[in-house]
Structure 1
Amino acid sequence: MTAGGPGRPAAPDERRAELAANLAEVRGRIAAACAAAGRDPAEVALIAVTKTFPASDVRLLAGLGLTDVGENRDQEARPKAAECADLSLTWHFVGSLQTNKARAVASYADVVHSVDRSRLVAALSGAAARAGRTLRCLVQVSLDEAEHRGGAAPAQVPALADEIAAAPGLELGGLMAVAPLGADPAPAFERLAALSADLRRNHPDARSVSAGMSGDLEQAIACGATHLRIGTALLGGRRAIVR
């Protein structure tokens, strides 16, 4: 429940205090997980996934020092990015992406985490080149073929990574994955870490490993995640409508 109570949005000061408390708790979890894994917390980027939450929350988080923002849907991300254009933010597109949305996403996103097929590589490359921008792209890997949650099969990763690296307007950043539902995420994240190590043999600068959400960030950090996509733990339960 948010500070404003059921059906009533929190006042700005209340919401800022709520977000500040949540952010401190998440950063504490990250610090503890990094200590347990023998890692430096500075190696781990925290992305606030603001799906269904308003641009006012993005502004409050930016004021608290969190300037990496993730979105799942273009129709929500585009106006939010425009409304916050005066802020120095890094926008991450983390959801499934249709090729017909590539041009729109390329106009505001800095990083696309969900590149999983050749057609999307071509669409993003053309859009980035037309916009005069460079998009950092991560290959989304499917770690559970039964779930249909998007992602390239592990065997397809090397070829897709090569396509991104060679595409005008794109830069290969690394890999992204979502842990399988209802299972221990550690084996999936260990597999992702192994795929990342293989990728870096041919693409040494593709170091990003986008893995870990509110419920499994500790396991992701233990397996080498460099980017965490955190929604609920930062912002609270999802809202039905953005206001």
Structure 2
Amino acid sequence: MTDDRKTQLAENLDRVEERISAACARAGRARDEVTLIVVTKTYPASDVRLLAELGVRQVAENRDQEAAPKAAECADVPLTWHFVGQLQTNKVRSVAGYAGIVQSVDRARLVTALSKEAVRAGRELGCLIQVALDAEAGERGERGGVAPDGVEALAEAVAGAQGLRLDGVMTVAPLAGPYAGRELAAFERLMEISSDLRAAHPAATMVSAGMSADLEEAVAAGATHVRVGTAVLGVRPRLR
């Protein structure tokens, strides 16, 4: 069964690779400008190990109660774990123990908690500011994230916090607001926000955008990282 699953994953990875390569070619970008992060939520640690054998080095999870034991089970595997879900402060100590990058930083209180636990763990945590393109000024979006006008202040907080590294920005294509159904426009707006951020923080070059359904639009806009789950692992089993 493991051999069958590995073959299936390899074929799926090949198809995703073809999509990313074709999107890069259309955009006039080099293939190595885009990094694939495989979202492994709801799938077992055995799949994570198979993905690593197939060359995957970046994986993402969105629920600590699932991610923490999975990361522990795969501690001997050379992987960078990304936390991409809305993060409650009471889960920060756990997440700081295994995540290399937290992509869902969206409020000052979370920055404070992440800094405290990164220092406690003796680790440096990469942080992305999650931008909510459906949020009005000062509000949070339905899927988490800070409104565009709040990015600068939050980035300054991350940059000034011990144990944290400001790596860039992330968004999820919004389901409501002016960018609903306009993925390319949404990701182009994220690139504008990234450009403004890099003016003040030149090392914050990471732009995480695009998933299985809209990775082409993300690559066209200029994303440096795409987060792909279903297209690699299959339709997700329902959580109990």
Q: With the length of structure 2 as denominator, give the TM-score of the two structures.
A: 0.95
For the pair 1:125 / 2:115, whether they are aligned, the reply is yes
Query: Aligned residue for 1:98?
Result: 88
- Tell me which residue corresponds to 1:5: none
Q: Deviations over 1:80-111 (max 9, x none)?
A: 00000011110000111011111110000000
Following superposition, the deviation at residue 27 of structure 1 comes to 0.4
Structure 1 consecutive aligned stretches of length 4 or more whose deviation exceeds 3 Å: none
Residue 88, structure 1, aligned to residue 86, structure 2: no
CA RMSD of aligned residues (A): 1.1
Aligned-pair identity (%): 62
Q: Which blocks of at least 5 consecutive residues in structure 1 are unaligned?
A: 1-10
User: For residues 152-190 of structure 1, what are the alpha-carbon distances to aligned partners after superposition, in whole Å with 9 as ceiling and x for unaligned?
Assistant: 010000010011011000000000000013502011111
2:52 is aligned with 1:54: no
Partner of 2:230: 232
1:137 equivalent in alignment to 2:135: no
Q: Distance in 1 between matches of 2:30 and 2:84?
A: 24
Shift of 1:26: 0.2
Note the C-alpha offset of 1:53: 0.3
What is the correspondence of 1:56-205 to structure 2 with a 5 Å cutoff?
Answer: 56-145=46-135, 148-181=142-175, 183-205=181-203
Aligned-partner Cα distance in 2 for 1:59–1:240: 22
Q: SS at the partner of 1:107?
A: helix
Does 2:213 align with 1:223? no
Deviation at 1:145, TM superposition (A): 2.4
1:43 aligned onto 2:19: no
Structure 2 alignment gaps of length 5 or more: none
Asked whether the equivalents of residues 135 and 146 of structure 2 are also in contact (C-alpha less than 8 Å), the reply is no
Q: How many residues align?
A: 232
Q: Taking structure 1 as the reference length, what is the TM-score of the superposition? A: 0.94
Aligned amino acid, residue 114 of structure 2 = L
Q: Deviations over 1:34-77 (max 9, x none)?
A: 00001111111101101100000000000000010100000000
